[in-house]
Structure 1
Amino acid sequence: MEPDLFTAAAEERQEKDPAGSPLAVRMRPRTLDEVVGQQHLLKPGSPLRRLVGEGAGGPAGPSSVILWGPPGTGKTTLAYVVSKATNKRFVELSAITAGVKEVRAVIDGARRATGGFGKETVLFLDEIHRFSKAQQDSLLPAVENRWVTLIAATTENPYFSVISPLLSRSLLLTLEPLTDDDLRGLLRRALADERGLGGAVAVPEDTEDHLLRIAGGDARRALTALEAAAGAALDKGEPEIALSTLEETVDRAAVKYDRDGDQHYDVASALIKSIRGSDVDAALHYLARMIEAGEDPRFIARRLMISASEDIGLADPNALPLAVAAAQAVAMIGFPEAALTLSHTTIALALAPKSNAATMAIGAALEDVRKGLAGPVPPHLRDGHYKGAAKLGHAQGYVYPHDLSEGIAAQQYAPDALQDREYYTPSRHGAEARYADAVEWTRKHLGRKRS
């Protein structure tokens, strides 16, 4: 339901006397300069700064903004700051629970507020990608007539999830994941600022590191955990938040895992070796340790793609496409949902038949090349698509395999020095068994000698 004048008054009172509000609300930025991260959007003269009236000419640009980025990167915060900076009413709806009826109610209320009180409205619509085309169409009149300043947020690619008419009328801003440094600055500000904890408690380095890990790049999650732990420490009469207090408060133990040190590589190595050894339970354990420690999900996904080729290969040709799809999904959705995708892929790779034949094959071929075993390309295999090639004997005598009933032509393919080299030795595991049969058949029909 749309907030009325009583709600607006309550919000004003909360800002003047925020003591009873959650820490994340008290530390909500009031200006663009207080926003954490997103420096690429906050440069002087940027479209976002012009939208709030900074710079020459005052407010400029479209009356609709689409914020695209991972969860917890400040989409709601930016919408709130725009409303405060432009002195407009702020109304928030979620596409998960709202429909056309609620949207129309807000728009009608915005028109009344503008006409009766001269107060314009910012409508923040979260998860706009969950709206159908018809529901998104219902926003167009309000955008076109500037009845509201629409700020829509999405975690999905707006070029696929937002209708073209709305996208073309909007300023598209892409938000980047918050870094550890961004969140560290936010936590320290909350500890010192009078709006926050006002220096009532300190946070040692190990506790701060664990706060960053459990935050997972989400500013609100970081502040919520800090507030809970600070309350517990003060109740105990402790001047600082011990790591054990934070662990008790958020019910999550600190994982011994340094993303830039030995633990990072040791646990990653153990994950891959457990997959290689087909121990699905051990693989899930190491995956869980990496997730809980706040490891970048894209790093995990890259390791799984490598594993799919290095340790599974043609024993299960679907392993690599699955790992690639997982990497794409992880990049789009982020944590916490990315944990499901990584689990799905880890289980599939651990239980897949294994073969390192492709790994060994390219390794042997590279070794020969590095030793200088190469030689000229046989003349009949060379390019013949230029004038004079025939005079040089290039592409002459080449047999086109598709012209033969068996589809294979017994002619020389490798350079002279490598005619009898066999790099690929397939296993009989899983789907690679058929490749083993194929290799045996083709080498026989090519007249190749066994090395």
Structure 2
Amino acid sequence: MEPDLFTAAAEERQEKDPAGSPLAVRMRPRTLDEVVGQQHLLKPGSPLRRLVGESGGGPAGPSSVILWGPPGTGKTTLAYVVSKATNKRFVELSAITAGVKEVRAVIDGARRATGGFGKETVLFLDEIHRFSKAQQDSLLPAVENRWVTLIAATTENPYFSVISPLLSRSLLLTLEPLTDDDLRGLLKRALTDERGLKSAVTLPEDTEAHLLRIAGGDARRALTALEAAAGAALDKGETEVGLQTLEETVDRAAVKYDRDGDQHYDVASALIKSIRGSDVDAALHYLARMIEAGEDPRFIARRLMISASEDIGLADPNALPIAVAAAQAVAMIGFPEAALTLSHATIALALAPKSNAATTAIGAALEDVRKGLAGPVPPHLRDGHYKGAAKLGHAQGYVYPHDLAEGIAEQQYAPDAIKDREYYEPTRHGAEARYADAVEWTRKHLGRRRS
């Protein structure tokens, strides 16, 4: 039997007996208006609303959609809503387990359904980035001939993971991580809705806060944890889901951490100070606390980038590229996988040789500027490309360093007010020893001596 027939049968059973389905499935939105978050995609007249025929003229635009976003942000949900709104069959495949054979079977079934029953098909392909180029190529005829409405989901940048012919024929929609307010509204609906828990239990504020932390912006994870905790509470004869019950259910201790309070800054400060102190184990502890508390991974990544320049600098020139690469990766993949990237960067920074020479150098230079130690630019360094510059003496007498054998010219570069100031005081830690030698050599050849 073909996989799309299995899907259709399962869907029919779910509609007849919704109580037998998981809470996350029962609470799946039936219309775009019920979708939580993603308001940038749901505005009136948006491509997504036109796709489901809300523009007044039936479905419009491309017959292929690529949904790009972190786990639990509603990619499967949007595909399901599109199928319902357009009255099309919904077939779901995962690129992890399916191959070309399964895809062709669905496409053949879709062609027969369209020809025999006039019923079009939405093919939802999850994790499309796991398909090879050849496997993605097999989708092109179905997309070009509109045999199916393909909705593909990916957590990776589609410009790198999806072939160009398929990308050019698709509407690319970027999904944002769900906010705490988004999830809070979803939990409230799940607690009271007839499809949900029907007000059988209540959720105290502290339990809700911990549930939001462990969800990490993932709606599916939030509903799964809520369902398990509510079941455990009811088994104990309780109508309130206490924090202890939730902890026992998800096997995860509540982290005492307020992202808007003092501990937010205390733990972030402890992370950076542990990296500065080269205590990799303490740094990983504080990183874990921030992750468990549901901290925004982009905030953590920004702190690591600052640390790379503030506390490491040229002692390890690779530290900043590692931190920047981590920040870019975190923005692309999100939690939970981003925890690995943040760990990678934290370990590298904690174990790197340390130098704050770059920090103190710019600090000293800024202090002088703020004191008014600036002065005019030396005439030979001024712009000499415009007419009349020579008459003003601009750029006259400038020595071009590349014309000299050693590539350095003994001439004054700084204004008179700070010509003897030396801001950069390198350490001899790690790779900065090379820069220490370089600055000593260059100052000597510039005709400068230490004051």
Deviation at 1:421, TM superposition (A): 0.7
Deviation at 1:7, TM superposition (A): 4.8
Aligned partners of 1:4, 1:157: CA distance in 2, in Å? 28
Aligned partners of 1:45, 1:7: CA distance in 2, in Å? 31
Deviation at 1:344, TM superposition (A): 0.7
Deviation at 1:246, TM superposition (A): 0.3
Deviation at 1:319, TM superposition (A): 0.5
Larger CA deviation: 82-91 vs 292-301: 82-91
**Are the aligned partners of 2:88 and 2:119 in contact in 1 as well (CA < 8 Å)?**
yes
**Are the aligned partners of 2:68 and 2:155 in contact in 1 as well (CA < 8 Å)?**
yes
Aligned partners of 1:367, 1:9: CA distance in 2, in Å? 73
Larger CA deviation: 165-174 vs 249-258: 165-174
Deviation at 1:6, TM superposition (A): 6.1
Residues 434 and 6 of structure 1: is their aligned pair in 2 closer, same or farther, counting only changes over 3 Å? closer
Deviation at 1:157, TM superposition (A): 2.1
**What SS is found at the alignment partner of 1:4?**
helix
Deviation at 1:173, TM superposition (A): 1.4
Residues 41 and 7 of structure 1: is their aligned pair in 2 closer, same or farther, counting only changes over 3 Å? closer
Deviation at 1:53, TM superposition (A): 2.0
Deviation at 1:55, TM superposition (A): 3.1
Structure 1 segment 156-195 matched on structure 2, within 5 A: 156-195=156-195
Larger CA deviation: 286-295 vs 12-21: 12-21
**Are the aligned partners of 1:409 and 1:446 in contact in 2 as well (CA < 8 Å)?**
yes
Deviation at 1:97, TM superposition (A): 1.6
Deviations 1:140-170 (A, max 9, x none): 1111211111111112222222222222222
Larger CA deviation: 152-161 vs 421-430: 152-161
Residues 4 and 290 of structure 1: is their aligned pair in 2 closer, same or farther, counting only changes over 3 Å? closer
Q: Which position in structure 1 is the counterpart of 2:240?
A: 240
Deviation at 1:4, TM superposition (A): 5.2
- TM-align CA RMSD: 1.2
Deviation at 1:375, TM superposition (A): 0.7
**What SS is found at the alignment partner of 1:8?**
helix
Aligned partners of 2:214, 2:96: CA distance in 1, in Å? 26
**Are the aligned partners of 1:110 and 1:148 in contact in 2 as well (CA < 8 Å)?**
yes
Aligned partners of 1:2, 1:419: CA distance in 2, in Å? 80
**Are the aligned partners of 2:8 and 2:91 in contact in 1 as well (CA < 8 Å)?**
no
Deviation at 1:50, TM superposition (A): 1.9
**Are the aligned partners of 1:2 and 1:91 in contact in 2 as well (CA < 8 Å)?**
no
**What SS is found at the alignment partner of 1:111?**
helix
Larger CA deviation: 435-444 vs 235-244: 435-444
Deviations 1:365-424 (A, max 9, x none): 100000001111111111111111111111111111111112211111111111111111
Deviation at 1:117, TM superposition (A): 2.4
Larger CA deviation: 155-164 vs 177-186: 155-164
1:5 corresponds to 2:5: yes
**Are the aligned partners of 1:38 and 1:176 in contact in 2 as well (CA < 8 Å)?**
yes
Larger CA deviation: 196-205 vs 113-122: 113-122
Aligned partners of 2:149, 2:372: CA distance in 1, in Å? 67
Aligned partners of 1:79, 1:62: CA distance in 2, in Å? 14
**What SS is found at the alignment partner of 1:66?**
strand
**Are the aligned partners of 1:214 and 1:294 in contact in 2 as well (CA < 8 Å)?**
yes
Residues 102 and 172 of structure 1: is their aligned pair in 2 closer, same or farther, counting only changes over 3 Å? same
**What SS is found at the alignment partner of 2:3?**
coil
Deviation at 1:177, TM superposition (A): 1.1
Structure 1 segment 394-413 matched on structure 2, within 5 A: 394-413=394-413
Aligned residues: 451
Q: Which position in structure 2 is the counterpart of 1:387?
A: 387
Residues 17 and 181 of structure 1: is their aligned pair in 2 closer, same or farther, counting only changes over 3 Å? same
**Are the aligned partners of 2:38 and 2:176 in contact in 1 as well (CA < 8 Å)?**
yes
Aligned partners of 1:440, 1:68: CA distance in 2, in Å? 51
**Are the aligned partners of 2:66 and 2:172 in contact in 1 as well (CA < 8 Å)?**
yes
**Are the aligned partners of 2:4 and 2:91 in contact in 1 as well (CA < 8 Å)?**
no
Aligned partners of 1:387, 1:414: CA distance in 2, in Å? 25
Aligned partners of 2:43, 2:406: CA distance in 1, in Å? 66
Aligned partners of 1:132, 1:10: CA distance in 2, in Å? 29
TM-score by length of 1: 0.98
Deviations 1:318-365 (A, max 9, x none): 111111111101110111111111101101100110000110010001
Deviation at 1:120, TM superposition (A): 1.5
**Are the aligned partners of 1:305 and 1:323 in contact in 2 as well (CA < 8 Å)?**
yes
Q: Return 5+ residue gaps in structure 2 as ranges.
A: none
Aligned partners of 2:342, 2:65: CA distance in 1, in Å? 33
Larger CA deviation: 335-344 vs 107-116: 107-116
Deviations 1:266-318 (A, max 9, x none): 00000000000000000000000000111011100000000000000111111
Residues 123 and 4 of structure 1: is their aligned pair in 2 closer, same or farther, counting only changes over 3 Å? closer
Deviations 1:65-93 (A, max 9, x none): 11111111100001011111122111111
Residues 370 and 318 of structure 1: is their aligned pair in 2 closer, same or farther, counting only changes over 3 Å? same
Percentage of matched positions with identical amino acids: 95
Deviations 1:179-217 (A, max 9, x none): 111100000000000110000000001100111111111
Aligned partners of 2:439, 2:167: CA distance in 1, in Å? 53
Aligned partners of 1:376, 1:43: CA distance in 2, in Å? 55
Deviation at 1:444, TM superposition (A): 1.6
Q: Which position in structure 2 is the counterpart of 1:118?
A: 118
Aligned partners of 1:111, 1:231: CA distance in 2, in Å? 43
**Are the aligned partners of 1:390 and 1:396 in contact in 2 as well (CA < 8 Å)?**
yes
**Are the aligned partners of 1:309 and 1:359 in contact in 2 as well (CA < 8 Å)?**
yes
**What SS is found at the alignment partner of 2:199?**
coil
Aligned partners of 2:328, 2:10: CA distance in 1, in Å? 44
Deviation at 1:5, TM superposition (A): 4.4
Aligned partners of 1:142, 1:449: CA distance in 2, in Å? 74
Deviation at 1:45, TM superposition (A): 2.1
Residues 384 and 116 of structure 1: is their aligned pair in 2 closer, same or farther, counting only changes over 3 Å? same
Aligned partners of 1:131, 1:319: CA distance in 2, in Å? 34
Residues 386 and 10 of structure 1: is their aligned pair in 2 closer, same or farther, counting only changes over 3 Å? closer
Deviations 1:115-136 (A, max 9, x none): 2222211100111122222211
1:211 corresponds to 2:244: no
Aligned partners of 1:434, 1:10: CA distance in 2, in Å? 67
Larger CA deviation: 344-353 vs 50-59: 50-59
**Are the aligned partners of 1:27 and 1:196 in contact in 2 as well (CA < 8 Å)?**
yes
Aligned partners of 1:346, 1:116: CA distance in 2, in Å? 59
**What SS is found at the alignment partner of 2:40?**
helix
**Are the aligned partners of 2:3 and 2:102 in contact in 1 as well (CA < 8 Å)?**
no
Q: Which position in structure 2 is the counterpart of 1:142?
A: 142
**Are the aligned partners of 1:69 and 1:176 in contact in 2 as well (CA < 8 Å)?**
yes
**Are the aligned partners of 1:323 and 1:345 in contact in 2 as well (CA < 8 Å)?**
yes
Aligned partners of 2:158, 2:261: CA distance in 1, in Å? 37
**Are the aligned partners of 1:73 and 1:177 in contact in 2 as well (CA < 8 Å)?**
yes
